[in-house]
Amino acid sequence: MANWVPLWLHRLGSPPVFYRFAGAVRPWALGLALVLGAVALYGGLFIAPADYQQGDAYRIIFIHVPSAWMSLFIYGAMAVAAFIGLVWRIKIAETVAMESAPIGAAFTFITLVTGSLWGKPMWGTWWTWDARLTSELVLLFIYLGVIGLYHSFEDRRQGARAASFLVLVGAVNVPIVHFSVNWWNTLHQASTVRLLGPSHIEASMLWPLLTMMAATKLYYIASLFARVRADLVASEGGKGWVRDLLAGRAGNDPA
Amino acid sequence: MRPGSTPAACAALLRRDLTLAWRRRGDIALPVLYAVIVATLFPFALGPDPALLSRIAGGVVFVTVLLAILLSLDQLFRADIEDGSMEQLMLAPQPLALLVAMKILAHWVTAALPLIVVAPLLAGMLKLPPEVIPVLVAALLLATPLLSLMGAVLVALTAGTRRSGMLLALMLLPLCVPVVIFAAGAVAAAQEGLPWIAPIAWLGAGLALALVLAPLACAAALRIAMDT
């Protein structure tokens, strides 16, 4: 009797069920994200010792590195959702993929901004054509292309399917870009500074980093669920369950 | 009535597209003219120093050709979608991927081939050393079909939308980064007297992959974008 998992997942594909599930999970995810984020920031900014070489400037990694992880993690999640949406035509999966894109773009943007803030005092320049920087910038362009394509269609579902296809094309492209940019960089300039390098990170620096990673993941879930709920209400406006929902919220409105 | 054989259908489609392009020869000249204008602007902006120009010539030619192809890509499926012949192609008993491949081939012949012909001239104007020009042409011969194939997938995705010019540029940029890197890398290596066969081989590998996958992806994208 282990088939309750697929059964539950199957039921989750229905918009009203997902709406209620997301509504129940969201406050917990958001609360935990805020608490863990606060703990991680305290640990990173006050408890962890200053770096012997970089001083206090290294502390930006507690924002920068989790954001960079999330920029790739969200792309992976988005690609999986896009694939499911294209193959099985599940509406929820399409919505999840499309609503992930702005969050992923935001994390990518934060990664680039914090990286350049750190690079200005450390490298002496806020931008260099390093392989990692360049592939992160290309990733931002892919996110923006997905968002732009989604919004250029009149029909939302058709736009979601076209943009999902672009997500999959991008998923093939991202490793190629990363590889080719590495090749290009090593051809032209000497090795640049690595953020963490092969050296081991001190434990008092590691735990805030991992806590912040958990916080960003939970924040992604909370933000995604809020966006998906809003999108479901907007796109299913004519359906019975949305009308029931609105009627229930309005109390004993005679209309 | 029995459907015609697939090779006959492909040949007919190719002949039709080339004839249509030949009837409007002025349109073929426009991307070439655009490339010449863009390449001419660089010496004005950067100064006529031959040493500087010869260093950037390879990259400038590639970016110029890329922009000119991007400009012409927008028209790839537009006329067929507007007059309804794209629906007929999608309903045809022959595989859509092959028919689309023929359209891409026709586009490459009409849009990219004239650019390749004029590219040595542009490179000469920008003082690229003459012994590097064969490498430039070889890289262009491999890179432009790759750009046409990948661009066609994206054009197909935007087929159902109204405004697509800027969006197409935004979507094509991440895809063409590796192409530009390898193509310009080959020219730069040849210019420095280094072996340049490796980036050319990578371009060839990419082209082989795209030749197989891009028509299939393009057909799938067309079905998504035209599905109303």
Query: A31: domain range?
Result: 23-48+59-191+200-233
Beta carbons of B174 and A183 less than 8 Å apart:
no
The total of structural domains in chain A comes to 1
pLDDT confidence band for B38 (50 / 70 / 90): very high
Q: How many structural domains is chain B composed of?
A: 1
The answer to whether residue A66 is domain-embedded is yes
The gap between the terminal CA atoms of chain B, to the nearest Å, is 29
Contact status, residue B53 vs residue B126, Cβ threshold 8 Å? yes
The reply to whether B1 falls in a domain is no
- Band of pLDDT at residue A193, cut at 50, 70 and 90: very low
Suggest the residue from B56, B181, B218 to mutate for an interface test with chain A (most A CBs closer than 10 A).
Answer: B181
- Given a cut of 80, whether residue B114 has pLDDT beyond it is yes
Bridge partners of residue A55, in order along the sequence: A51
Chain A residues close to B153, C-beta within 8 Å = 169
Pull the structure tokens for residue B127.
């003082």
Distance CA B79, CA B85 (A): 8
Mean pLDDT across chain B: 89
Asked if A171 has any chain B CB less than 8 Å from its own CB, the reply is no
Torsion of CA A89, A94, A95, A96, to 10 degrees: 120
Q: Domain for residue B128, yes or no?
A: yes
* Contact with chain B for residue A173, Cβ under 8 A: yes
Give the pLDDT confidence of A233-249 residue by residue, as tens digits.
888 888 888 888 878 76
Does residue A198 surpass a pLDDT of 90?
no
How far apart CA B182 and CA B200 sit, in angstroms, is: 7
Question: Stretch A63-89: mean pLDDT, rounded?
Answer: 92
Nearest by CB to B224, which of A141, A152, A165?
A165
> Domain range holding B50?
6-226
Is the pLDDT confidence value at B127 over 70?
yes
User: Which residues of chain B neighbour A142 with C-beta distances below 8 Å?
Assistant: 174
pTM for this entry? 0.88
Q: What is the CATH number of the domain that holds A72?
A: 1.20.120
User: Considering the domain boundaries, does residue A155 fall inside one?
Assistant: yes
Task: Let me know if residue A138 belongs to a domain.
Answer: yes
CA separation, residue B154 to residues A35, A239, B163, B203 (Å):
43, 34, 13, 20
User: What is the reported pLDDT for A252?
Assistant: 47
Residues of B in contact with A165 (CB under 8 A): 157, 217, 220-221, 224
Chain B contact for A144 (CB, 8 A cutoff): yes
Residue A100 lies in a domain: yes
A248 domain residue, yes or no: no
Residues B143-200 have pLDDT tens digits of: 999 999 999 999 998 887 776 678 888 888 888 888 998 998 899 888 888 888 988 9
> Nearest by CB to A187, which of B173, B185, B217?
B185
- B163 has a chain A CB within 8 A of its CB: yes
* H helices present in chain A, as ranges: 4-12, 15-42, 61-88, 91-122, 131-151, 156-188, 203-235, 240-249
CA A130, A136, A141: angle at the middle one, nearest 5?
125
Q: Which range among A173-187, A200-214, B74-88, B164-178 shows the weakest confidence by mean pLDDT?
A: A173-187
- Residue B137 belongs to a domain: yes
Handedness of CA B127, B63, A111, A180 (dihedral sign): negative
Taking only the tens place, the pLDDT of each residue in B45-102 is 988 888 888 888 989 999 999 999 988 888 888 888 888 888 888 888 888 999 999 9
Interface touch A152/B178, C-beta < 8 Å: no
Query: Quick check: is A18 in a domain?
Result: no
Do B171 and A166 lie within an 8 Å CB cutoff?
yes
Q: How many residues does chain B have?
A: 228
Position A1 in a domain: no
pLDDT tier for residue A201 given thresholds of 50, 70 and 90: low
Query: How many CB pairs lie under 8 A apart between chains A and B?
Result: 79
How far apart CA A138 and CA A192 sit, in angstroms, is: 19
Tokens of A42: 């305290």
A247 touches chain B (CB under 8 A): no
